[in-house]
């Protein structure tokens, strides 16, 4: 790679061994993928370093011990427990203690303790065309597609970029990596896309067909940020999409032609309501009317407005969560605080729900492997209803529960009735 004088100084150790080693990793990484130079990154969304992986904790603590500090605004992704309510939610003390070590390590490094998969809801909105580095697949797709910032899937290299402020110019940072590859013609009515769960089903269908390439959605009606995030999260669940284009909604292509930049689609598909229904059916293993014991909303982490909707729904119905059901509405800790201040969180709690921050069911003590390690019974959940294909897909395998995919209000109805 061609290095600037500043980068050469860093690599030579003139700014200390920590930066030299971090940049050396990035040079090796860039050279392996044919990058010619570095770019400056302006923001990082940092790995979760969850306590359900003991090795992650040891590594995070050891790295902070080297004196490494981030040099750009750096938010942090989801942990494995709610730092304020861990005991109330059934998390063992040992897991919380491990997680607290990571929090301390992050503070020493200057990483902001946002602990969320939706840093964009907290105002971390990098401008179009900026280079950033991020973990968390739903956020990555949203940053790239909806905001038009440029990031690859950061993985472990996020750490080295956050401390050096550099990333090799390659992959989705290059124009060539951002061209559409597959065309999806949406034959959907506004009724077909009324709920965020419909967007999630759409993303799940498209992601499964396109794998790791760049889908272009033709005919997506003007959508809200939360709908586009539901779509983003699902695209990265059934597939490993990093970027999509939907003219009229996303940042870079005003037309389908622009999205393909002169190339022809490798394949063209038509999407109808039937395809969305197939995603609902695939992720629903709970029988109609069967009893359930868990409902999850807030995957990805909810906005204040979404929390308000839940509180208003309970107020309008005048009902409470069924005695045999746990309702988790997941969000980040800052939004939870805002919801507390607004009186929204107390209203959800008064109806029997939990407003959970820092984690979510799939990133928690309820994973089967974690239960085994900490002597907890399994499965922790028998049957979950959720409005997120990502949650439904992962808890089936990781928690070992049955699932039902429903829209948000039907999820709330299930929480009250105790049935899907």
The residues binding ligand F3S (CB under 6 A) are 78, 117, 138, 233, 299-301, 330, 360, 362-363, 390-391, 394
With vertex at residue 315, the alpha carbon angle to CA 385 and CA 191, rounded to the nearest 5 degrees, is: 55
Rounded least distance, CB 137 to ligand F3S, Å:
8
In this complex, which beta carbon is closest to ligand F3S, that of residue 20 or of residue 368? 368
In this complex, which beta carbon is closest to ligand F3S, that of residue 15 or of residue 309? 309
Rounded least distance, CB 103 to ligand F3S, Å:
17
Chain center to CA of 266: 28
Rounded least distance, CB 229 to ligand F3S, Å:
9
Rounded least distance, CB 418 to ligand F3S, Å:
23
In this complex, which beta carbon is closest to ligand F3S, that of residue 124 or of residue 260? 124
**b/e code 321-351 from CB counts within 10 Å (16+ = b):** bbeebbbbbbbbbbbbebbeeeebbebbeeb
Rounded least distance, CB 358 to ligand F3S, Å:
10
CA dihedral sign, ordered 145, 151, 153, 159: negative
Structure tokens, 193 = 């896309």
Going by C-beta distance under 8 Å and a sequence separation of 6 or more, which residues neighbour residue 102? 49, 50, 51, 56, 57, 60, 61, 79
In this complex, which beta carbon is closest to ligand F3S, that of residue 253 or of residue 391? 391
In this complex, which beta carbon is closest to ligand F3S, that of residue 96 or of residue 115? 115
Paired residues of 230 in beta bridges: none
Rounded least distance, CB 1 to ligand F3S, Å:
33
- Residues 249 and 362: their CA atoms lie apart, in Å, by 29
Going by C-beta distance under 8 Å and a sequence separation of 6 or more, which residues neighbour residue 335? 121, 122, 301, 302, 303, 304, 307, 357
Nearest one of 268, 280, 251 to 186, comparing CA atoms: 268
In this complex, which beta carbon is closest to ligand F3S, that of residue 219 or of residue 225? 225
- Residues 324 and 321: their CA atoms lie apart, in Å, by 8
Rounded least distance, CB 114 to ligand F3S, Å:
12
DSSP readout, 363-392?
Answer: BSTTSHHHHHHHT--S-S-SEEEES-HHHH
Rounded least distance, CB 162 to ligand F3S, Å:
19
Rounded least distance, CB 8 to ligand F3S, Å:
39
In this complex, which beta carbon is closest to ligand F3S, that of residue 233 or of residue 253? 233
In this complex, which beta carbon is closest to ligand F3S, that of residue 13 or of residue 400? 400
- Residues 179 and 175: their CA atoms lie apart, in Å, by 7
DSSP readout, 217-251?
Answer: EETPPP--HHHHHHHHHHHHHHS-----B-TTTSS
Rounded least distance, CB 400 to ligand F3S, Å:
16
In this complex, which beta carbon is closest to ligand F3S, that of residue 74 or of residue 138? 138
379: cis peptide before it, omega within 30°?
yes
In this complex, which beta carbon is closest to ligand F3S, that of residue 252 or of residue 358? 358
Chain center to CA of 99: 19
Rounded least distance, CB 281 to ligand F3S, Å:
21
Query: For the CA atoms of 186, 191, 194, 199, what is the dihedral angle to 10 degrees?
Result: -20
In this complex, which beta carbon is closest to ligand F3S, that of residue 10 or of residue 404? 404
- Residues 50 and 335: their CA atoms lie apart, in Å, by 21
- Residues 326 and 310: their CA atoms lie apart, in Å, by 14
């Amino acid at each position: 790679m061609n290095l600037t004088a500043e980068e050469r100084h860093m690599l030579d150790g003139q700014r200390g061994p920590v930066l030299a080693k971090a940049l050396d990793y990035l040079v090796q990484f860039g050279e392996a993928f044919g990058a010619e130079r570095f770019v400056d990154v302006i923001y990082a969304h940092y790995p979760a370093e969850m306590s359900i992986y003991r090795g992650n904790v040891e590594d995070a603590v050891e790295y902070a011990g080297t004196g490494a500090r981030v040099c750009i605004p750096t938010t942090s992704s989801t942990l494995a427990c709610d730092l304020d309510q861990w005991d109330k939610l059934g998390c063992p003390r040992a897991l919380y203690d491990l997680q607290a070590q990571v929090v301390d390590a992050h503070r020493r490094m200057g990483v902001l303790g946002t602990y969320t998969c939706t840093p964009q809801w907290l105002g971390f909105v990098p401008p179009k065309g900026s280079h950033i580095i991020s973990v968390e697949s739903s956020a990555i797709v949203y940053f790239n597609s909806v905001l038009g910032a440029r990031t690859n899937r950061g993985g472990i290299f996020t750490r080295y970029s956050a401390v050096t402020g550099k990333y090799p110019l390659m992959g989705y940072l290059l124009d060539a990596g951002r061209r559409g590859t597959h065309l999806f013609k949406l034959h959907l009515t506004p009724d077909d896309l009324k709920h965020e769960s419909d967007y999630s089903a759409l993303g799940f269908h498209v992601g499964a067909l396109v794998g790791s390439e760049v889908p272009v959605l033709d005919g997506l009606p003007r959508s809200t940020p939360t709908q586009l995030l539901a779509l983003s999260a699902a695209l990265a669940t059934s597939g490993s999409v990093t970027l999509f284009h939907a003219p009229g909604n996303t940042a870079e292509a005003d037309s389908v032609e622009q999205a393909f930049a002169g190339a022809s689609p490798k394949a063209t598909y038509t999407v109808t309501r039937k395809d969305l229904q197939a995603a609902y059916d695939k992720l629903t293993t709970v029988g109609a009317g069967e009893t359930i014991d868990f409902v999850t909303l807030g995957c990805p982490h909810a906005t204040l407005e979404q929390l308000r909707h839940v509180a208003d729904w309970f107020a309008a119905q005048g009902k409470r969560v069924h005695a045999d059901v746990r309702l988790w509405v997941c969000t980040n800790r800052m939004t939870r605080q805002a919801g507390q201040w607004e009186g929204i969180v107390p209203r959800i709690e008064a109806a029997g729900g939990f407003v959970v921050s820092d984690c979510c069911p799939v990133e928690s003590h309820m994973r089967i492997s974690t239960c085994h390690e900490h002597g907890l019974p399994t499965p922790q959940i028998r049957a979950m209803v959720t409005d997120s294909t990502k949650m439904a897909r992962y808890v089936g395998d990781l928690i070992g529960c049955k699932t039902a995919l429903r829209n948000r209000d039907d999820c709330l109805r299930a929480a009250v009735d105790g049935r899907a």
